[in-house]
A = this chain, B = another copy of it.
Amino acid sequence: MPGLSTRAHQLPESPIRKLAPFAQAAKARGVNIFHLNIGQPDIETPPEFFQAIDDAGIKVIAYSPSAGIDSLRQAIVEYYGRIGHQLSVDHVLVTTGASEALSFVFASILNPGDEVIVPEPFYANYSSFSFAKDARIVPITTYLDEDFDLPAAEEFEKRITPQTKAIMICNPGNPTGVLYSQSTLEKLKEIVAKHDLFLIVDEVYREFVYGDTKHSSALGLQGIEQNAVVVDSISKRFSACGARIGCVITRNDELMQAMMKMAQARLSPPTFGQIGAAAVYQLPESFYDSMIGEFAKRRDTLKAGLDAIPGLVCPNINGAFYAMVRLPVDDSEKFCQWMLEEFQYRGSTVMMAPGAGFYATPGAGKDEVRIAYVLNSDDLKLAVECIAAGLQAYPGTKQVAMSAQAGS
């Protein structure tokens, strides 16, 4: 049997998806599962999406232009204009989800052996995309007890080598829910300018911001227009994960030309998703207000519920729709599996994503889980009750630590 490539062996399994067989078995036993394990909102996709596809009256599902259909690129430019960033369509490349966007960026800037500095915990698939280019993610640990804020500039400086090509962040953050401030971004700007690195920012959760702090896009950082690359997607913003439409935005023409060659090689992004996306990008401000209002309510419900569980630590969460929380357990992966295999509470259980998969540092995050608050508040309340009951019943729950914390 012929052998596989090194990267095929090294590529990590998705930590989010590897519990799937246990979930399937639980469902087969008739157990209801609250899916807090994956960023799949239950919010309905705007009807304008489907209407646009109907109205298009397609007879032949033809290839679209490799960079995306004109109406969608134009709608994206107008959307960015409304949030204060002047772009032209030449700065926008439509991709098959943010996944492909990131894949194009990595392929265009990373040689085998090159490095990208990423604050951990980070979205696990960043690793997969770097492995795919035989490059390497260099983690810079952020901490739950500091609400996952970025460490000082010196911590970045320490990790910069001749192989460093980029710093990458997710803002607002998956899996942490962190929202980086303007001053944090300015700090990163100084570093990338000094070392002439790319600053790649995954902004797919841009609108999911709660409280008074506003989101600051990397596109607004003056002086590093050639370094800034934004990865974006309609998946979360318009609850259209399965449409597979994302984009990459950069004012760096050379980078855009390289990515265009890759885009041409894969021919085109999916037609249906593009047509729907062009329509929903034109939705008024009220659409966002109502959706973000709903997620703010969910965040409050989740945070209040989790804070009441003895021994569980939930940081402040200001963006996206995730919380990375610490559980009073021996091993959060074992706990997550046990919840699916051996536990139920009033006929239900909860599926969460074990924390370790979001860290590159071995051993980190072993008592953390990522919770996606993608369900309505009633379901969230039940899910939190279920987590509380599970922690009481789980044999690996640390009783001593719990009472200590409960008394503090």
Contact = CB atoms under 8 A, between A and B. Distances in A.
Interface stretch (A11-19, A182-190, A381-389): A11-19
Nearest to A254: B4
A185 to B, nearest CB: 18
Interface stretch (A143-151, A152-160, A257-265, A289-297): A257-265
A280 to B, nearest CB: 11
A220 to B, nearest CB: 19
Contact of A4 (B6, B7, B244, B255): B255
A123 to B, nearest CB: 10
Interface in A233-283: 239-244, 252, 254-255, 258, 261-262, 264-273, 276
A99 B265 contact: yes
B196 A64 contact: no
A364 interface: no
Given A242-B270, A268-B242, A272-B273, A11 B60 contact: no
A5 B240 contact: no
Given A1-B226, A2-B196, A2-B198, A13 B264 contact: yes
Contacts of A4: 108-109, 254-255, 258
Nearest to A244: B270
Given A41-B60, A258-B4, A100 B271 contact: no
A66 B99 CA distance: 13
Contact of A272 (B8, B109, B166, B272): B272
A11 B109 CA distance: 13
A403 interface: no
Nearest to A124: B265
A66 B125 CA distance: 13
Interface stretch (A42-50, A74-82, A303-311, A325-333): A42-50
17 contacts: A2-B109, A2-B196, A4-B108, A4-B254, A4-B255, A5-B258, A17-B66, A42-B60, A43-B60, A45-B59, A50-B58, A60-B239, A96-B270, A128-B265, A134-B134, A243-B270, A270-B270
The 6 closest A-B pairs by CB, nearest first: A242-B271, A128-B265, A8-B258, A272-B272, A14-B264, A270-B270
